[in-house]
Homo-oligomer: A and B are copies of this chain.
Amino acid sequence: MRLTTKGRFAVTAMLDIALYEADKPVTLAGISERQSISLSYLEQLFSRLRKQGLVSSVRGPGGGYRIARAHQEISVSDIITAVDEQIDATQCGGNENCHDEGRCMTHELWASLNSKILDYLSGVSLADMVEMQRKKGAGTVVFAPRKCGSEATIAA
Interface residues of A (CB under 8 A from B): 2-4, 8, 11-12, 15-16, 36, 76, 86-88, 91-93, 96-99, 101-114, 116-117, 120-121, 124, 129, 132-133, 137, 141-156
Contacts and interface: CB of A to CB of B under 8 A. Distances in A.
Contacts of A86: 150-151
Given A91-B150, A93-B147, A102-B143, 17 more contacts: A3-B113, A4-B153, A87-B151, A92-B148, A96-B146, A98-B144, A99-B142, A102-B144, A104-B144, A104-B149, A105-B129, A105-B141, A109-B129, A110-B150, A113-B121, A116-B116, A154-B155
A12 B114 contact: no
A138 B14 CA distance: 49
Given A120-B113, A142-B99, A144-B99, A104 B150 contact: no
Task: Report how many copies the assembly holds.
Answer: 2
Contact of A153 (B106, B108, B148, B154): B154
Contact of A12 (B11, B106, B116, B117): B106
A98 B36 CA distance: 12
A153 B3 contact: yes
A104 to B, nearest CB: 3
Contacts of A15: 105-106
Contact of A129 (B102, B106, B124, B147): B106
Contact of A76 (B109, B117, B143): B109
